[in-house]
Amino acid sequence: MPRLYSERFATFVVWGTLVGVAFFSIYPTANWLAELRGNPYHLFFAWELRFPFVQEFIWFYLSLYLLFTLPPFFLTSDEMKRLAKKLITATCLAGLVFVAMPARLGFARVVPPDSPYREIFLAMFAIDKPFNLVPSLHVVYSTAIIVAIAERLGKTGGIVLFGWLALVLVSTILVRQHHLLDVFTGLALALIMHLYWERRNKHA
């Protein structure tokens, strides 16, 4: 058992690093290019701007980073490699869309007055510019990870995981980081990547 988990964690570190390289190469570059380019697209409905700002949902939003730690506990090394390939491919495709069709966040960004929310939102806004929206990589990553893990759990575990996913998806809107189109396209991209790489594995 220790040897099994040491192999899994080694795979997790190597392929997790590759996912990180893809993300940190593409996402900031696309944000920078979008900021330089004028006239970004406004890909949302006016009525979406009436959605409330709920600062407490930042905890569900940030729970993506907890999701990142789960794969080695539930997936085999081969499954983690496929998950990483899904995330890397999705990141590359999303990056192309970000550059070709930069969008602008319609929500006014709100900085809550009280700690710890003030510090959390200030840090998030300093890192994440309001351009890389469609598709939401936050949605892509959380969906891809949960779908991969849910297949290894029973019905109850799957319900818990997909309930968690629903809260993450809603949080992207209620903390004013994304719009509905961003969420739906992120879901679609994650599911397409899942189907593509799983089908490819079956025919390998």
3-class SS letters over the chain: CHHHHHHHHHHHHHHHHHHHHHHHHHHHHHHHHHHHCCCCECCCCHHHHHCCCCHHHHHHHHCHHHHCCCHHHHCCHHHHHHHHHHHHHHHHHHHHHHHHCCECCCCCCCCCCCCCHHHHHHHHHHHCCCCCCCCCHHHHHHHHHHHHHHCCCCHHHHHHHHHHHHHHHHHHHHCCCCCHHHHHHHHHHHHHHHHHHHHHHHCC
Q: Where are the domains of the chain?
A: 2-202
Written as tens digits, the pLDDT of the chain (204 aa) is 566 678 899 999 999 999 999 999 999 999 888 888 778 889 999 999 999 999 999 999 999 999 999 999 999 999 999 999 999 999 999 999 999 999 999 998 889 999 999 999 999 998 888 889 999 999 999 999 999 999 888 889 999 999 999 999 999 999 999 999 999 999 999 999 999 999 998 876
Q: Kindly report the backbone phi and psi dihedral angles of residue 175, in degrees, each rounded to the nearest multiple of 5, phi listed first.
A: -100, 10
30-55 b/e (C-beta count within 10 Å ≥ 16 → b): bbeebeeeeebeebbeeeeeeeeeeb
Residue 1 is predicted with a pLDDT of 56
User: Rounded to an integer, what distance in angstroms lies between the CA atom of residue 121 and that of residue 140?
Assistant: 21
Residue 40 is predicted with a pLDDT of 87
Residue 3 is predicted with a pLDDT of 67
